[in-house]
């Protein structure tokens, strides 16, 4: 009982940290919007205010790390994990905390303390005139965050241990782990050579742990720590740079757009906008064969351009559109395929979180990537609609027309009323970015205010909506940035082991051809997309490819768009595509897994066709300006 009470109090600490971060999400949104308005309307900018914004952003994701762990929001590859027994899941959780989270957190805390103490001794202040003083305070948030993460990991161990019915299995498992550790230590002590190149061993170990169900972020971090320990040419000294790299992430204004766009999307998700859109568009196109599926594609595109949250879009359309389509005798395969494919358009169509992350990792302008993604996004929408029209024409039973007694004029009027508000929001957010008037972060803040305005318009705005959206924003943002920290640690050790040079040599020496490199890179990303999420690919694989892209003099904007299109396809690839899990989870027994797989295969083919068109005609991405 004492252990459970202790765990309860530790959980409360993380809970209040998460609630405080959620409040800061709302404050940050209004602060960025206010700052943008003052600078653009009254030319009254403030360096201190801008630095306060990224300090709030830092506190949000850092305090969210332990809160996300409390709610098990740190993403894991659950291909096998979901089939484990409760006892096996508990053992995985205990091992994850003891072997991955706690060792890495202790190492990070040691180096973060040195960095913070050095800043305190030097009385470090902002390098910009009028900026904030006492820079050590924001660096100290790294210490606070990882102390909270340590405390929460202890709580997770206690809770998982309590859930175990047969504790003997745990001790036997820990015995095997200790034995493995002893063998590794003996091999290191005797300076035994690696049988395989440690670069390959790093990836192999990471893949095994990922497939076993350990949290992604902590796998990358702990694998980096493990190989730094056992490799004499690396050593723990290489990870001393990690707090400085993390501090660089904290000061990245571009990445501040991530929580703001997530917050905007979650507010829209709860505001009934999607429900109204689907209902109106379904009636508008229902009289055409395949009309319901076409309306799903168009609504998916609008949701993508206004929310950008793939999981939310797929789940919403599964709950709202799927029963309607099945009721009107649509083929379960076509219904499932159109919903899954349309729901993943948010991976590509701006304001895509994928494009923001790629822009950061490839050192590209997010505005340029947003402009370049417009034509590929439109191309996919057109291909989807053409496919639906053709299959409906040649097989009239898969998507019959719907006869409605409602006057068509009234249907059009209702559709226009449902479409105009989100289109205005899209125009305000993307238009300000494309015109160069505002940065993505500023546009995201304006988008948050617009989303709240739409919620008010739909009479759905209340405290509970803001609370839900802010708390979920903290969880998702913390998950993304913990993966970035883990991937940064992985990259530091990977490059120190010569992995970057090895990849460069392979592609420039062994492959030797620009087009062969593009083909191999796209194939690797496509295959990885079967197993791991886009965030891990963007943070781990993309940095390896960046210098190779430069060595071949490849247009980085074009290459980034190819990656984004490829990652979008990975959301649909059976058997592990995340959109398929979202769809099946929301649909329940309404459609079978076989129907879903059969339905998405043609849409995957259309995505590959769109990718091929952009490869053959690269200038298409610049139709909206360079």
CA 512/CA 523 separation, integer angstroms: 17
Same domain membership, residue 264 and residue 221: no
Contacting residues for 261 by C-beta, under 8 A, at least 6 apart: 308, 351, 353, 356, 444, 447
Q: Are 337 and 293 in contact (CB under 8 A)?
A: no
Do the domain assignments include residue 492?
no
Same domain membership, residue 241 and residue 326: no
- Comparison of pLDDT for 60 and 167, the residue scoring more: 60
- Band of residue 250 on the pLDDT scale cut at 50, 70, 90: confident
Same domain membership, residue 295 and residue 176: no
Do the domain assignments include residue 343?
yes
Q: Are 537 and 355 in contact (CB under 8 A)?
A: no
Same domain membership, residue 108 and residue 28: yes
What pLDDT does 578 receive? 65
Model confidence pLDDT, tens digit, residues 111-123: 999 999 999 999 8
Same domain membership, residue 311 and residue 222: no
Same domain membership, residue 405 and residue 284: yes
Element (H, E) at 498: none
Partnered with residue 76 across adjacent β-strands are: 215
Q: DSSP code of 529?
A: T
From 251, 278, 294, the end of a domain falls on 251
Q: Are 418 and 284 in contact (CB under 8 A)?
A: no
Assign residue 576 a region (left: φ > 0; alpha: ψ between -120 and 50; beta: otherwise): alpha
What SS3 class is residue 11? helix
Same domain membership, residue 263 and residue 230: no
Q: Flag whether pLDDT at 624 surpasses 80.
A: no
Q: Are 473 and 263 in contact (CB under 8 A)?
A: yes
Model confidence pLDDT, tens digit, residues 437-496: 778 788 888 888 988 988 888 888 899 999 999 998 899 888 878 888 888 888 888 878
Element (H, E) at 331: none
CA 452/CA 18 separation, integer angstroms: 22
- Band of residue 398 on the pLDDT scale cut at 50, 70, 90: confident
The rounded mean pLDDT for the chain is 83
| % of the chain with per-residue pLDDT over 70 | 90
From 229, 251, 273, the end of a domain falls on 251
Question: What's the number of domains the chain is made of?
Answer: 2
Same domain membership, residue 145 and residue 62: yes
Average pLDDT over residues 286-306: 80
What pLDDT does 233 receive? 72
Same domain membership, residue 338 and residue 239: no
Which residues constitute the domain of residue 306?
255-461+497-622
Do the domain assignments include residue 477?
no
pTM above 0.85, yes or no: no
- Band of residue 170 on the pLDDT scale cut at 50, 70, 90: confident
**Which one, of 415, 418, 390, 419, lies nearest residue 404 by Cα?**
415
Same domain membership, residue 274 and residue 228: no
Half-sphere exposure for 323 (CA within 13 Å, toward CB): 9
What pLDDT does 594 receive? 81
Same domain membership, residue 291 and residue 228: no
Same domain membership, residue 160 and residue 263: no
Q: Flag whether pLDDT at 48 surpasses 60.
A: yes
Model confidence pLDDT, tens digit, residues 61-104: 999 999 999 988 887 766 677 788 888 888 899 999 999 999 99
Do the domain assignments include residue 483?
no
From 251, 272, 302, the end of a domain falls on 251
Do the domain assignments include residue 470?
no
Q: Flag whether pLDDT at 586 surpasses 70.
A: no
Assign residue 61 a region (left: φ > 0; alpha: ψ between -120 and 50; beta: otherwise): alpha
> Token digits for 611?
């990718």
Contacting residues for 43 by C-beta, under 8 A, at least 6 apart: none
Average pLDDT over residues 53-60: 92
Do the domain assignments include residue 342?
yes
Q: Are 543 and 334 in contact (CB under 8 A)?
A: no
- Comparison of pLDDT for 160 and 625, the residue scoring more: 160
Do the domain assignments include residue 467?
no
Q: Flag whether pLDDT at 225 surpasses 80.
A: yes
Q: Flag whether pLDDT at 300 surpasses 60.
A: yes
Average pLDDT over residues 248-255: 81
Average pLDDT over residues 493-512: 70
């Amino acid at each position: 009982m004492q252990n459970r009470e202790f765990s309860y109090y530790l959980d409360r600490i993380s809970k209040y940290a998460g609630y405080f971060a959620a409040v800061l999400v709302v404050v940050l949104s209004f602060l960025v919007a206010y700052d943008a308005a003052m600078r653009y309307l009254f030319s009254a900018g403030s360096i201190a205010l801008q630095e306060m914004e990224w300090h709030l952003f830092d506190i949000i994701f850092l305090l969210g790390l332990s809160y996300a762990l409390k709610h098990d929001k740190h993403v894991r590859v659950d291909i096998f994990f979901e089939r484990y027994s409760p006892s096996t899941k508990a053992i995985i959780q205990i091992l994850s905390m003891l072997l991955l989270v706690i060792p890495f957190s202790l190492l990070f805390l040691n180096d973060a303390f040195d960095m913070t103490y050095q800043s305190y001794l030097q009385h470090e202040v902002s390098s910009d005139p009028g900026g904030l003083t006492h820079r050590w305070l924001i660096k100290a948030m790294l210490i606070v965050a990882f102390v909270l993460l340590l405390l929460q990991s202890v709580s997770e161990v206690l809770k998982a241990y309590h859930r175990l019915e047969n504790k003997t299995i745990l001790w036997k498992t820990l015995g095997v782990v200790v034995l493995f550790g002893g063998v590794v230590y003996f091999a290191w002590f005797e300076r035994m050579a690696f049988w395989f190149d440690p670069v390959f061993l790093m990836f192999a170990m990471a893949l095994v742990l990922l497939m076993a169900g350990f949290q992604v972020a902590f796998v990358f971090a702990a694998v980096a720590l493990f190989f730094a320990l056992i490799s004499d040419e690396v050593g723990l000294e290489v990870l001393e740079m990690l707090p400085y790299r993390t501090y660089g992430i904290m000061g990245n204004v571009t990445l501040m757009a991530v929580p703001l766009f997530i917050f905007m999307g979650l507010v829209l998700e709860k505001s009934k906008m999607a429900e109204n859109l689907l209902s109106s568009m379904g009636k508008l196109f229902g009289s055409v064969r395949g009309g319901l599926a076409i309306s799903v594609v168009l609504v998916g595109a609008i949701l993508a351009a206004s929310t950008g949250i793939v999981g939310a879009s797929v789940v919403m359309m599964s709950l709202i559109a799927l029963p309607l389509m099945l009721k009107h005798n649509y083929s379960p395969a076509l219904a499932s395929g159109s919903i899954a494919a349309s729901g993943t358009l948010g991976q590509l169509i701006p304001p895509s979180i994928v494009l923001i992350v790629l822009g950061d990792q490839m050192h590209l302008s997010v505005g340029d990537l947003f402009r370049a993604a417009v034509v590929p996004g439109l191309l996919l929408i057109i291909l989807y609609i053409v496919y639906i029209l053709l299959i409906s024409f040649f097989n009239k039973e898969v998507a019959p027309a719907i006869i409605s007694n409602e006057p068509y004029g009234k249907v059009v009027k209702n559709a226009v009323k449902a479409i105009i508000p989100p289109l205005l929001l899209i125009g305000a957010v993307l238009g300000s970015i494309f015109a160069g008037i505002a940065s993505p972060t500023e546009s995201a803040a304006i988008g948050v205010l617009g989303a709240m305005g739409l919620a008010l318009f739909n009479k759905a705005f209340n405290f509970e909506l803001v609370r839900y959206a802010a708390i979920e924003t903290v969880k998702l943002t913390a998950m993304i940035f913990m993966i970035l920290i883990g991937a940064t640690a992985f990259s530091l050790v990977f490059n120190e082991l010569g992995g970057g040079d090895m990849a460069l040599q392979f592609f420039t020496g062994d492959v030797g051809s620009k087009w062969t490199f593009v083909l191999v890179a796209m194939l690797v990303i496509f295959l990885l997309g079967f197993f791991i999420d886009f965030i891990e690919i963007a943070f781990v694989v993309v940095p390896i490819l960046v210098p190779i892209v430069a060595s071949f003099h490849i247009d980085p904007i074009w290459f980034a768009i190819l990656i984004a299109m490829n990652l979008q396809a990975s959301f649909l690839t059976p058997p592990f595509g995340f959109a398929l899990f979202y769809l099946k989870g929301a649909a329940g027994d309404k459609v079978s897994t076989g129907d879903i797989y059969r339905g998405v295969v043609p849409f995957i083919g259309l995505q590959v066709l769109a990718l091929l068109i952009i490869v053959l005609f690269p200038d298409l991405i610049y139709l909206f300006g360079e």
